[in-house]
Amino acid sequence: MKTKNILVVLGSPRKNGNSAILAQQISKGAKSEKAEVETIYLQEKNIAPCRACMSCQKKGSRGCSIRDDMQEIYAKLIKADAWVIASPVYWFTMSAQTKLFMDRCFALPAYHSDPFRGKRIAVAMAYGDEDAVRSGCINALRTFQDAFRFTGSSLVGMVYGSAMDAGEIRLNEKLMRDAYDLGKMLATKQVLSRT
């Protein structure tokens, strides 16, 4: 099975930060398998926090009651065969931009029947500490695992590594290769079991 459309969601305020570089590597791997890749930079989007109004969960709902840039993103999420979510670690978990995006995905089922099931997802993260546990990266990774297990999505893989200064992640050649390979896998292979 070939994945044709991949949506990359960048959750860092740095457009060329380390998590974005990992996402670019995943994109390169996917493009090498002829996938079409589109990137969304969350920092440039107007995305409000979820209000917990539950409008999106009511029978006959027309979607999220908040009218902001998530309306455009919902359509892209539904259209895409696969998603790449990239975030730095901020204060022991994913960035605020990424968390806003994840919270607002709560409304996605109001736009399409069972929109998560079968979506192929890759996660890329960078953190400043040398250790994934001590940095809090593990907290964010677990959140992604739990969320996408619950939604019935296929978490194809996760790449993550230590880097503080912008661009420093490129020095980790193995991680860059792993990210490229994850992109190829995201575009071509089915996942036999859910993560």
Higher pLDDT pick, 1 / 118:
118
Tokens standing for residue 60? 């006959």
Cα torsion 24, 68, 151, 103 to 10°: value is 90
The predicted-structure confidence for 4-16, as pLDDT tens digits, reads as follows 899 999 999 999 9
Claim: this prediction has a pTM higher than 0.85: yes
Distance CA 123, CA 166 (A): 19
CA distance 133 to 130: 9
- Phi and psi at residue 119, to the nearest 5°: -65, 135
What token pair was written down for 160? 């993550």
Two structure tokens written together for 42: 């969350």
pLDDT recorded at residue 3: 64
Question: What is the rounded CA–CA span in Å between residue 89 and residue 191?
Answer: 26
Topology of the domain covering 5-188: Rossmann fold (3.40.50)
- Quick one: pLDDT at residue 193? 40
pLDDT, one tens digit per residue, over 86-99 is 999 999 999 999 99
d(CA 84, CA 186): 9
pLDDT tens-digit profile of 27-82?
999 999 999 999 999 999 999 999 999 999 999 998 999 999 999 999 999 999 99
8 A C-beta contact, residue 13 and residue 161:
no
Query: How many Å apart are CA 137 and CA 117, to the nearest integer?
Result: 25
Determine how β-strand 36-41 pairs with β-strand 5-10.
Answer: parallel
For the segment 15-29, what is each residue's pLDDT rounded down to a tens digit? 999 999 999 999 999
3-state secondary structure of 2: coil
For residue 41, give every residue at least 6 positions away whose Cβ sits within 8 Å of its Cβ, in sequence order, or none: 10, 15
Please report the pLDDT score of residue 194 as a whole number.
Answer: 35
- C-beta separation of 125 from 158 below 8 A: yes
Q: Is the pLDDT of residue 190 over 70?
A: no
